Copies of this chain bind each other. A is one copy, B any other.
């Protein structure tokens, strides 16, 4: 059962293939004229046969595929890290839908020790017009190569330069984190600690920079790597800190839970602010104070930026930083007065 083509339609209608194409595309230019009865004859045959143009051949002629690639460094539909990915993907899908684009998930990319690789033999990136990169951390060399090959892409999350500026849509962690610190300062806090890696990924760097700006460089830094939440808590209390600025949501929740378990009052004895509260289903019993990352909006705008890049390669603002929204919780309060008596 071979596919019906314009040639078949043309034969049935007694015209040439070109006429069929012109009718299909509703061309009414002054240069291309088609007699009304001829047009009608062609339309009739098309209706009778249920013909539909082959999109592949169509994309052959026009240069764009209307396909936005989505490259995720882990599985797209995992049970773990689902909460991380889905808000981004939701925004991506919504924008693609509006742009009438299809989404191509690069599931064919080989997995090397748990992570996909963009570049491999038989790389299929070019199936898509461009690509959205999604991942907690994206290898610097892959970004550099994408830039070098002039492949249109946008990273979700701010990225440092890699052989030139990296097109990306990030969240303004620096400003949001600084704002958290300032807010605590207004309540009377003076002893701050940043809890988390604070380096490595751009997102950690940004938070740390915001923290430094807010604390005028006076804050402490408690790393969590290889430590239990309880140990971190001990360290914080031992140093007289009154506010912990926690890098990840999970770490923040763990810290608050640990405090409750051993009778440390939050925020009475220790205030905890979280730099990243999930938009959906945050733990109600925790009610952490902090800011929300506009993940869905980031996904949306990354597709929008990609579309802009595809339309005009000289787009000036390659990087967008979206504001985070303050979340009022119950884990930030005034410091105990007696500490300063």
Contacts and interface: CB of A to CB of B under 8 A. Distances in A.
A169 to B, nearest CB: 17
Interface string A1-31: 1110000000000000000000000000000
Contact of A104 (B58, B76, B94, B104): B104
Given A50-B145, A102-B106, A145-B50, A55 B3 contact: no
A146 B104 CA distance: 22
B93 A100 contact: no
Contact of A125 (B52, B101, B121): B52
B55 A119 contact: no
Interface stretch (A78-86, A173-181, A315-323): A78-86
Contacts of A75: 90, 93-94, 97
B105 A93 contact: yes
A292 B101 CA distance: 35
A160 interface: no
A140 interface: no
Contacts of A104: 67, 102-105
A77 B57 CA distance: 30
Contact of A53 (B59, B86, B122): B122
B63 A60 contact: no
B50 A149 contact: yes
A218 interface: no
B1 A124 contact: no
A103 B105 contact: yes
Contact of A123 (B52, B79, B86): B52
A224 interface: no
Given A86-B82, A96-B107, A108-B100, A313 B1 contact: yes
Nearest to A129: B3
A55 to B, nearest CB: 4
Interface string A127-142: 1000000000000000
Interface in A139-176: 145, 149-150
A215 interface: no
Contact of A96 (B2, B65, B108, B145): B108
Contacts of A283: none
A54 interface: yes
B111 A107 contact: no
Interface of A: 1-3, 49-50, 52-60, 63, 65-67, 75-79, 82, 86, 89-90, 92-94, 96-97, 100-108, 110-111, 119, 121-127, 145, 149-150, 280, 313
